[in-house]
Structure 1
């Protein structure tokens, strides 16, 4: 700029003086701005953006560059001036440094030697420092390790304890240890990787504990099944002892107390004793073991608690109930010994059931909800019908009355035992009643054999005693009162045979045996009385009646025996009142008050038996008459009669005379009926002899012989063989034979034809058919005679014509039967 100013002339400067001042002012302003911008650039190291933007926006960046060039040159001049000022000092300094060089080298050697020595010493110190640091680090690690091990040690101890408890099968403590291991000790060392192994093992340990406790539960269930019979036996034994004590106490008080189905305080105390024994193990077993030794409930309690803690209680309850349900099915199955009338089989059956339900009742009160009252009642309700059905079925196989009584006692003891534990046993009373019916049937069957034995051993002769002892024995057995017999001399003869007192005693024995079953059944006196009467009625109307009917219908029973049986039924009928009194006596009732009682049907039964015996007497008489007529040996072509009755008729009349003497002890009506029936049957047989198709010929001599036989019978009828029997009535029995014989022997056909069909007929009992048969047989006999005689006499020819005429007229009559 100075050079530019020097080139301008004086004229130009003078003429444009004002413009130059203006330009100078503008130039100064721009220079200040550029200077300021340059300072900003120098002051700032990086952020030049706003400065460059200002320069560019003004559009004078070339001028700024020129200004920068001038500034650079200015700085160069300043540097040069500065160097010129300090150059001599620099030279001096160089000289001084050159002088110091030798000393510096010497110093350097010495320092280097000292450095080497120091390096050797420092290396040793550093090595020891490093060793010390390593030792301190190891020590720190050891301390830290010990601290962590002390933290981990309880975990390992608990783990070891857990393993030992599992090995010792202490599963419930092991479960507690497992809970502590999981929730207390593992969280304290959770940062270590080995804890993962423990966490993985915990579910396995739980599973192992669960499976092991379940195994113990299975062993417990098997043990319970094995020894529940023994527990049931002990419970029933205690119940029986309590009943004996209670009954003896009541006996001393003067009364008898029945315990069926109603638990008493002593029975409840017995229940407590058994429960305590189950818990404390104070009941002795067969081998000196206690009930607690036989059945240890601790596995069940442990397993139950373990499953509860594990949150799987429902699984445990379902499994236990299912297993016990299956065991109950096995328990309720009858044993094979029950089929053989073995009391041991019934005892074993009852003991198993009692043991099962006593254990369930025990668990009802010793576990929290494992066995509930509702479940127990439901199980018992399902078991009771099966028990009742089993008892009914197997008791029905029993044919021994004594065994049935023992079974009944066992059922009562079984019922009382379970009743004491709160089980509803009312259905068993119904079962006992049903078994009583079978017991009655067994007694009746036994009576059948006894009655048959009595009937087979009886002589069917009036019972005869030789002295007072024998007489008193009979009277004690059968209360027969007869003043004349009592005053008679020995030997005394009762009207009945030995069958009567023996049958009466057998019925009394039946009543006594039936009464034994009702003992301690908690029945009222009225119920017992009605029961005895009903059973006795069955014995009389079914058993004894059937035996008497069989006896009466025996083919081997003779007529005299039938007569004695009929007499015996008269006296057995009297026993009805005696039995009424006896039943009332043994049941504690009164004979006078019969309004509510079923009367014995013995009287009507014995009447029916006597009626049947009477019918058999009539039939036997007819059979005897038939047998006698089988001995008849008529010569039907006899020319003249023998002059007296046939031998068989004489024997028959003698038999009838003797037999009706034995009828003296029978009712008069029976004797009269028998006598009339005998005469009617004789008449029938005489008539049948003449009308028999096998007899082809009959001579008049044979008819006269028949008339002699008939006369013998009529004479017997007129002899009044039975007291108070009208002989005329007996003669009427022979009217058929009499009219036929009179008609042909007297040849009174004119009267027959004249009065035929009239009320005043002399031969109303002779039918045309009968007359034709007899007449044809007479003609046949006469025809044989003609073959012998070569020349017929005139009277024979007339007789033939007469017979032909009579036969023709008979055939013309109405053919009616009498």
Structure 2
């Protein structure tokens, strides 16, 4: 029974060995060795192996003929494959050759673009740098950068060349500037030889021939200098470094000029430089004239562009900006809210700034002239006086007297010159600050700007008076009296009403003027109006004057008197302005009231009612009315008898003539 169970167990183990992976048969074999029947198991295993060998042999015998046939066919296929391989290799070789030819052609085409441009230009640049020819080298780099390299930009060597262009340009500029510096430093080597040659020529042939021997040396030096200077200039300008070159060159020339003006004691040539300083002082006067001409144009441009209106300011920044340019202080104006207006126009701060710029220009020229502070201060003050009394004064006179200058502009000019006059002491302090000379120093030159602005203001005032009178004359030309009218109208003439309205608006602008100027202008205008009206009445063309026309004329004069009585300009005491029309008033009262008895009886007395009536004027007007009475019954209201009326007029005329004769005798 035990042997049967062992045989069954061995059979199971063999099946597991056949069906299980070799990595997992360890536990199965362990169960064999754990028992006592492992010898029997080995016999069983040997038998199973022999069975499998017989099955394998049977299978091989069964498939051997097919294997032989397969090997035979494979050998046949190998021969055919060998032939196919040889044929295929021929086709691949042809295709590879064609590909190589295409690549070679493309390479030749690309190189044909690169060689004449990129590579040849690069080689040319190196050759020009070695010569040296800096400007052609820079031109070559420019052509290389903008023309050649973009054609072959995808090549790596072109990228490297493009990155090196900036470095090459910088190197060229540095080399050119270095050559210039080295040359300027080497000039001193030739100075001894030039000086020696000049001294020999002076001693042998005189000063006039001293440059004959020096010419050869200087020509050679100048040729080299021009070449070096041109190279450096072109290189710097070509690369946008013109300012750097100009600054360096000016600095070097300034040093050389100082060397000329202040020669070293070891130069040893024996030439004195005193005459050079004298020449520079003479040049200073010429330079001053040039500055005056320049500033004359500047002042005229400022005056022409000015709008002659008070400067409006809308915010604190604008106000501070203007008072920063021009010394102006007005506590009352500062208290006013924004927006507000400054009393002067824009040309006041502009002119003040330009005067300071002129002072700076004069100070600039006086540098390195070995002048004392007192001499510089005196020179600047004298030049500034010329600027104010001659240049600025002429420009102001030109602005005042040019055509089409209105009353508003003239008023603004007076205001502007008043503020400029007040700023003169600030200019005094400005000059003292830059020269370190107190303004109260003995013998210090004073500025005459106050007189300049006063003269300009007086001229503007005269122009205002003249302009006002011309405007009045223009209105009077519109007068159209009917001198033989039987009766007067109900109101003043239209032309006179327009004239009074114009005067009112004009004098309203005068509120910012000094009081005396406005009063003088108003009195002058009223006197001119009164005189012009009287001349209009006595014109020779007016041959007849009726009482109606005279009454209309009287209405116009009353309108003028109302204007004067209203006080268009403050400051007049009482009826002072009415005195401008007193001559007309007494004359018209004499005729309208027909008060000849009083006039003739009191004539010549200080208390005469018609003291301002001239007998010549009265006679001339009476003659005009006499002619009218012969044609019209003007005096019918005074006398019933026409003959008595004519006799009365004749009597008055006769008495006036006798009075005139008495005066003449």
The TM-score, its normalising length taken from structure 2, stands at 0.62
Q: Paired residue for 2:205, among 284, 306, 322? A: 322
Deviation at 1:537, TM superposition (A): 0.9
- Residue 454 (structure 2) pairs with residue 571 (structure 1): no
CA contact (8 A) 1:418 1:425 kept: no
Q: Paired residue for 1:806, among 629, 652, 655? A: 652
User: Partner of 1:722: helix, strand, or coil?
Assistant: coil
CA contact (8 A) 1:720 1:726 kept: no
User: Partner of 1:436: helix, strand, or coil?
Assistant: helix
CA contact (8 A) 1:717 1:727 kept: no
CA contact (8 A) 1:719 1:727 kept: no
CA contact (8 A) 1:284 1:290 kept: no
Name the structure 1 match of 2:406: 558
Name the structure 2 match of 1:271: none
List runs of 5+ in structure 1 lacking aligned partners: 1-282, 305-316, 333-347, 353-405
Deviation at 1:753, TM superposition (A): 0.8
User: Partner of 2:423: helix, strand, or coil?
Assistant: helix
Q: Give the Cα–Cα distance (whole angstroms) in 1 for the partners of residues 617 and 286 of structure 2.
A: 61
Deviation at 1:700, TM superposition (A): 1.2
List runs of 5+ in structure 2 lacking aligned partners: 1-180, 223-251
Distance 1:814 1:782, change over 3 A: closer
CA contact (8 A) 2:201 2:210 kept: no
Deviation at 1:589, TM superposition (A): 2.3
| Deviations 1:11-30, CA, capped at 9 Å, x for gaps | xxxxxxxxxxxxxxxxxxxx
Matches within 5 A, 1:567-606: 567-591=415-439, 593-606=440-453
Distance 1:681 1:547, change over 3 A: same
Greater shift in the superposed pair: 562-571 or 647-656: 647-656
Name the structure 2 match of 1:725: 572
Distance 1:411 1:692, change over 3 A: farther
Deviation at 1:560, TM superposition (A): 1.1
Distance 1:469 1:296, change over 3 A: closer
CA contact (8 A) 1:720 1:727 kept: no
Distance 1:558 1:796, change over 3 A: farther
- Residue 353 (structure 2) pairs with residue 505 (structure 1): yes
- Residue 563 (structure 2) pairs with residue 716 (structure 1): yes
User: Partner of 1:705: helix, strand, or coil?
Assistant: helix
Matches within 5 A, 1:736-751: 736-751=583-598
Q: Paired residue for 1:636, among 472, 483, 497? A: 483
Q: Give the Cα–Cα distance (whole angstroms) in 1 for the partners of residues 547 and 258 of structure 2.
A: 86
User: Partner of 1:724: helix, strand, or coil?
Assistant: coil
Name the structure 1 match of 2:463: 616
Q: Paired residue for 2:620, among 737, 754, 773? A: 773
Q: Paired residue for 1:645, among 475, 485, 492? A: 492
Q: Paired residue for 2:300, among 452, 458, 463? A: 452
| Deviations 1:428-469, CA, capped at 9 Å, x for gaps | 222212211121111111111111111111111111112222
User: Partner of 1:548: helix, strand, or coil?
Assistant: helix
Q: Give the Cα–Cα distance (whole angstroms) in 1 for the partners of residues 526 and 310 of structure 2.
A: 28
Distance 1:807 1:289, change over 3 A: closer
- Larger Rg belongs to: 1
Deviation at 1:654, TM superposition (A): 1.2
RMSD of the alignment, in Å?
3.7
Deviation at 1:609, TM superposition (A): 1.5
Q: Paired residue for 1:691, among 538, 556, 579? A: 538
Q: Give the Cα–Cα distance (whole angstroms) in 1 for the partners of residues 513 and 631 of structure 2.
A: 53
CA contact (8 A) 2:583 2:613 kept: yes
Matches within 5 A, 1:71-90: none
Q: Give the Cα–Cα distance (whole angstroms) in 2 for the partners of residues 584 and 686 of structure 1.
A: 57
Deviation at 1:427, TM superposition (A): 2.1
Q: Give the Cα–Cα distance (whole angstroms) in 1 for the partners of residues 544 and 213 of structure 2.
A: 87
| Deviations 1:643-688, CA, capped at 9 Å, x for gaps | 1111121111111111111111111111111111111111111111
Deviation at 1:720, TM superposition (A): 1.5
Deviation at 1:555, TM superposition (A): 2.8
Deviation at 1:535, TM superposition (A): 0.8
Matches within 5 A, 1:470-509: 470-509=318-357
The TM-score, its normalising length taken from structure 1, stands at 0.51
Q: Give the Cα–Cα distance (whole angstroms) in 2 for the partners of residues 758 and 328 of structure 1.
A: 96
Matches within 5 A, 1:315-394: 321-322=204-205, 325-328=208-211
- Residue 299 (structure 2) pairs with residue 416 (structure 1): no
Deviation at 1:598, TM superposition (A): 1.0
| Deviations 1:496-515, CA, capped at 9 Å, x for gaps | 11111111111111111111
